[in-house]
Chains A and B, each alone.
Chain A
Amino acid sequence: MFNLFDLGKIFEISSRSVKYVFILFIIVLTIGLTESLFLSPEDYKQSHSVRIMYVHVPAAWMALGIFAVIAFLSFGTFIFKNKNFSLISKSLAPSGFIFNIIALITGSIWGKPTWGTWWAWDARITSMLILALFYLMYLLSWRIITNKNSANKISSLIAIVGAINLPIIKFSVNWWNTLHQGPSLKIMGDTTIHSSMIIPLAIMTAAFALFSLLIFLMKFNTEMIRIKSKGLDRL
């Protein structure tokens, strides 16, 4: 085992940066909400219901991104036997789970006026629901299993197995005929969204990322204090 991080330094930075991240998050969220609710134009087909995209899409991106990081770090936990990886993963999971729930619920709300139904067992929606279950299993494994080493191993295994679902979610709209629309934003290729809608989408994504960072820092500090508190018993 080797130590990749100086936890003392990380804790110093993380505990002092919480209030700055919080202020920045509030500012970016306020701008994002103003842009997405009042300033951005309505869609020619979906009218004002398109505004749900500004919370639904960033939430789905964040849920996928966070789970990918958790899976990557869990793989690192097995290879390098570094407990700091699991500490970071554990601190990231709550915000990832909340983003997943937001993506499912706002997607359902958007589905009613667009498709005429709250829910469909469509490949994209079902695979996102499966991701939420993996998040839940990951979080519960830390809560239920009392032996920390076993909890670490089992939660890492859940994350690695759950990562198989990530490409399924991404390509579900291409592989199967789904009610869910295909990707509008492409990294390699033309995007079909007008810039007047991309700007609020980018601002809201930044706000969601800042919220994730805020929760991560607070959870990380909580875990560190918990560990140090146990350390006091051993003195």
Chain B
Amino acid sequence: MINEIFLMNGYGAYVWSAFLFTIMCFASLYLLTKLQLLREQKKYIAKFGSLSEAKSAIAKEQKINKEILLNTLISKI
């Protein structure tokens, strides 16, 4: 049974390598995209922190800025 699953009548090496390659591509792209997102969030937070009170109040008026701040706080928790 186990042999049949892994060897697949001699096609096991081809089948498993095709599936493993696909999963590895998915994992790599996911991690790379996640890292990019976290890096941009970090940059944004640093920039927002350096704003004066008046400027940060103006920025917070925009819906997207509020949402980004909300998301980064959630992701930090």
Contact = CB atoms under 8 A, between A and B. Distances in A.
B11 A48 contact: yes
A98 B25 contact: yes
A123 B41 CA distance: 44
A102 B9 CA distance: 24
The binding surface of chain B is classed by DSSP as helix
B47 A229 contact: yes
A226 interface: yes
Interface string A94-130: 1100100110011001101100000000000000000
Contacts of B29: 94-95, 98, 215
Contacts, number: 121
Contacts of A94: 29, 33
Interface string A6-36: 0111011001100000000000000001000
The binding surface of chain A is classed by DSSP as helix
A55 B48 contact: no
A112 B14 contact: yes
A46 B20 CA distance: 20
B33 A222 contact: yes
Given A37-B19, A225-B40, A232-B59, A11 B64 contact: yes
A199 B70 CA distance: 41
B30 A222 contact: no
B9 A218 contact: no
B73 interface: no
A165 interface: no
Contact of B44 (A7, A16, A105, A228): A228
Interface in B1-47: 5, 8-9, 11-12, 14-15, 17-19, 21-22, 25-26, 29-30, 33-34, 36-37, 40-41, 43-44, 47
Contacts of A90: none
A52 B14 contact: yes
Interface of A: 7-9, 11-12, 15-16, 33, 37-38, 42, 47-49, 51-52, 55-56, 59, 94-95, 98, 101-102, 105-106, 109-110, 112-113, 211, 214-215, 218-219, 221-222, 224-226, 228-229, 231-233, 235
Interface of B: 5, 8-9, 11-12, 14-15, 17-19, 21-22, 25-26, 29-30, 33-34, 36-37, 40-41, 43-44, 47-48, 51, 55, 58-59, 62-65, 67-68, 71
